[in-house]
Amino acid sequence: METSMIHSEHKVRDVHGSLTMPIYQTSTFSFSSAAEGARRFAGEEEGYIYSRLGNPTVKALEERIAVLEGGERGLAFASGMAGVSAVLIAMTKANDHILCSNGLYGCTYGLLQMLEEKYDITHDFSFMESEEELRNKINKNTSCIFIETPINPTMKVVDLSMVAQVAKEYGIPVVVDNTFCTPYLQRPLEKGCDIVIHSATKYIGGHGDVIAGLVVGKGEFMNALAMAEQKDIGGVLSPFDAWLLLRGIKTLHIRMDRHSSNAAEIARKLKEHPRVENVYYPGMENHEQKSIVKKQMKTGGGVIAFELKGSKSEAQNFMDRLELIQIAVSLGDAETLIQHPATMTHAVVPEEKRKEMGIGDSLIRLSVGLEAVEDIWHDMNQALQS
């Protein structure tokens, strides 16, 4: 995989033989004749028409992520939520039902609420801890199962192989948001799942300078997604942003190794600190789902959640005293970022539902960056002490 991140061939090269994929920063493509244009619109001839329908730089990214996830086709979107929206719209119709992991990104939760209010597409949440629980939650209208693992921000882990096995008994596709792991740490399609989604804004981009989403799956579904939801809704990625992601992917494996090793060390130190109540990190030896983690994840990744001994105001006060670490709601950047889910990324989720998901007022999410781990801990320790 490390070699594929760097050497996956792009099929379109410019006349100068550029080693790096060129940026085809164009909205449209000209035809050599009217007949050629007619053939391309009719699907009788391969070639580019208009960048909303396809672009060489974007296609190179889509091919790269398909290779890395082990899927038949990838598609690029203008954001992670554009990818989530396109997939869920493609998989549902009025009066359908979506079964979700008990914990989701706040905007995904907001999308589910909108689908229910406008189109009577209902949803339920499940801890997905056993086959029996899953079977009890599936109903005759369930059109897909949507999973985050690790779950944002509680870091709970879902057994992908188990869910995929049950879902196949009912003929229900399984969609996995793989943002926290990337294909370097976890490959859901190999576990029997059907669709993988990434907010490529995060680790795949890796530098905090692009907003993007990626979707990978089997050819038939992905072709239909490209011709309908991607083309007609139009949440497509720009060529320049695709180029930024292609650049980011080349160092993904190196960055993820460092994110993971730094996170493991910070999690260990937090666990030992007297002002910390609980630490949630899949890479910890005492993680309650250790057997699942070892089965489907290469390492614990770069995100930690922890609870302070105190209230919301004390959690916010701790964050305000940080000097090196930045208060920001994204993750996967070179910089270490920290945020308060209850009032930030998951503020849209009603308080009762947040607490049911495990998102309390003292819970903090930390995206551990690439700095020297000693410097990250020094900053955290001084804020905890003060």
Q: Mean pLDDT, to the nearest integer, of 339-362?
A: 93
User: Any idea what DSSP says for residue 21?
Assistant: P
Domain hosting residue 120, numbered range = 2-249
Contact 71, 87 (CB under 8 A): no
Q: What is the pLDDT of residues 181-235, one digit of tens each?
A: 999 999 999 999 999 999 999 999 999 999 999 999 999 999 999 999 999 999 9
Are 210 and 308 members of one domain?
no
Q: What is the pLDDT of residues 9-21, one digit of tens each?
A: 555 555 677 888 8
Domain end among 208, 229, 249: 249
Are 73 and 159 members of one domain?
yes
State the pLDDT at residue 20. Answer: 85
State the pLDDT at residue 9. Answer: 54
State the pLDDT at residue 13. Answer: 56
Are 228 and 292 members of one domain?
no
Domain end among 215, 249, 283: 249
Are 243 and 363 members of one domain?
no
Are 368 and 287 members of one domain?
yes
Q: Give the number of domains in the chain.
A: 2
Q: Mean pLDDT, to the nearest integer, of 290-306?
A: 96
Contacts of 345 (CB under 8 A, 6+ apart): 105, 106, 152, 153, 329, 339, 365
What is the spatial distance between Cα 109 and Cα 124, in angstroms, rounded to a whole number?
11
Q: What is the pLDDT of residues 159-178, one digit of tens each?
A: 999 999 999 999 999 999 99
Confidence of residue 117 (pLDDT cuts 50, 70, 90): very high
Q: What is the pLDDT of residues 47-67, one digit of tens each?
A: 999 999 999 999 999 999 999
Are 272 and 359 members of one domain?
yes
- Whether the ω angle into residue 239 lies within 30 degrees of 0, i.e. cis, is no
What is the spatial distance between Cα 199 and Cα 11, in angstroms, rounded to a whole number?
25
Are 130 and 193 members of one domain?
yes
CATH code, domain carrying 240: 3.40.640.10
Q: Mean pLDDT, to the nearest integer, of 129-157?
A: 96
Are 73 and 171 members of one domain?
yes
Are 214 and 360 members of one domain?
no
State the pLDDT at residue 127. Answer: 94
- Record the tokens describing residue 236, joined without a space: 């497509």
Contact 30, 47 (CB under 8 A): no
CATH code, domain carrying 285: 3.90.1150.10
State the pLDDT at residue 40. Answer: 94
Domain end among 222, 249, 276: 249
Q: Mean pLDDT, to the nearest integer, of 149-158?
A: 96
Tell me: pLDDT of 70 over 70: yes
CA-wise closest residue to 184 among 331, 300, 304? 300
Contact 79, 235 (CB under 8 A): yes
Average pLDDT taken over every residue of the chain: 95
The pTM (predicted TM-score) of the whole model is: 0.94
Are 176 and 233 members of one domain?
yes
Tell me: pLDDT of 88 over 60: yes
Q: Mean pLDDT, to the nearest integer, of 39-45?
A: 93
